[in-house]
Amino acid sequence: MNLGMETETLEFKKSTGELKEAMNSICAMLNKHHYGELYFGVKPDGTVIGQVVTEESLREVSQRIKNFIEPRIYPEIRKIVLDGRDCIHVKFSGNQIPYFAYNVARIRVADEDLVMSREEITSLLLQSGRDGNRWENLVSNKTIADADEELLKKYIAQAHDVGRISISYTDRKTVLNQLELTDGEWLLNAGKVLFSEDLTQDVQLATFATNERLTFTDIQRHHGPVLKLVDIAETYIKNNIHWRVEFTGTLQRTEIPEIPMDAIRESLLNSFCHKDYAAGESNEVAIYKDRIEIYNPGTFPEGLEPEDYIERVERPVRRNPKIARILYYSKDIESFGTGLKRIADSCEKSGVRYEFQKKKTGFVVCFYRQLDKEKADKKPIKADKKPITITRQEKITAYIETYGSISNKEARELLGIADSTAKRVLKEMVEENILVVEGERKARRYFLPKKRAKTDNLF
């Protein structure tokens, strides 16, 4: 007996030994057509070969669908007999797109289950027309009983102490309901990543021997609730950077890190807060000889630049507003859209060079480390930062006197500073009437007033 060819709503599997592949097919069909059918005991060409079907095998299919497809669906699973052979038939439907199997979204194209890009997932969300279909609002595969009670108690106490919530801890179900992180007995994805253990919530930590991503001297991977992962990553960085010791007038010992720890923690929190969890990728911390990179698998909002949040008040674009709200309640993040400015201000205050890097697959906060010679050079700066500004202005002025004008990129390369810092220095020089500016965005150039006047007279 032959059932014909596979289609965009029909899939065949030889046996339940292909359960993982079957979950991917169910997910892909739901995202494309919102329904589908799947047979176990049938070859891909439609030939019925059958398989052993027991209560245990039917339960195994049911459990796999329940645990690894999000949001939850309620399929019809039954034993059928085709041409005298036992098979399993699964019929399913659902409209809460996008669906994820093993935290990865797929789409059906002919008889293939293709991984969806971030852009395609975003498009599905827009098509759904419901904010409730954000990944963080979907029902997860974890129950209220899976929430870490001690972590939840600690969170509630902290949020209550800082005055951002009025609730007190009673029991897991009540508190999680009050935080709007549940659907019946199940945790929403936001609740899962914040308060429960899951292998797909992880951070990779590595220390490299040089300035390149080649040979590592240490590599670790940890999984668990976001707040625990932030603490683990912060401790890892603390243990792998340089600290110097200073003594106050009372001979009290003070340890000072080469990179401000408040900027490190802010970067880590932002990394998990704005992560694209649907991508199924890991957060990363990479420590090189000359820099530290904190990677977030979540692209920066299209049409915006990091400087938009540093130099002016730009409305935040929240990928995970529910997760951000929970972190705000506990004062782990101060307010929406201010994280990058807080990082920049902290680094500026400490004389640390930093950089925000937009990648095709995510976003990186890069902190440049202070080598021994650089640390020695920076000691006088700690007491008085004003000479830095004067030196930068003098270098920029000398450059313009030689070449006629300067751009932001040229100033950045000349001074060896981040893009945002170059913009700030140039802006201050314009406000102080040291420079005049002409052009917009990439075409913008800075002139000395007299040079600009001479150039104007040529036209």
Percent of the chain residues topping a pLDDT of 90? 49
SS3 call for 124: helix
Mean pLDDT of 37-59: 95
Whether 382 shows a pLDDT value over 60: the answer reads: no
C-alpha to C-alpha distance for 286 and 315, rounded to whole angstroms: 30
Question: What number is the average pLDDT over the span 342-369?
Answer: 92
Question: Does 202-314+333-372 match 394-456 in CATH topology?
Answer: no
pLDDT in tens, 266-289: 999 999 998 888 777 889 999 999
pLDDT for 446 beyond 80: yes
Choices 3.30.565.60, 3.40.50.720, 3.40.50.300, 2.60.120.380: CATH for 202-314+333-372: 3.30.565.60
Cα separation, 40 vs 15, in Å, equals 5
Is the pLDDT confidence value at 390 over 70? no
pLDDT grade, residue 386 (50/70/90)?
A: very low
3-state secondary structure of 246: strand
CATH number for the segment(s) 394-456: 1.10.10.10
Confidence of residue 388 (pLDDT cuts 50, 70, 90): very low
Mean pLDDT of 339-344: 90
What band does 389 get if pLDDT is binned at 50, 70 and 90?
very low
- Cis status, amide bond into 44, omega within 30 of 0: no
Cα–Cα distance for residue pair 50/185, rounded to 1 Å = 37
Across 165-169, 348-352, 414-418, least confident range = 414-418
The domains of the chain are located at: 10-130, 137-195, 202-314+333-372, 394-456
Q: What are 191-223's pLDDT values in tens digits?
A: 999 999 887 788 999 999 999 988 889 999 899
Quick: pLDDT tens for 121-162: 877 765 554 555 678 888 888 999 999 999 999 999 999 898
CATH no. for 10-130? 3.30.950.30
Strand (E) or helix (H) holding 179: none
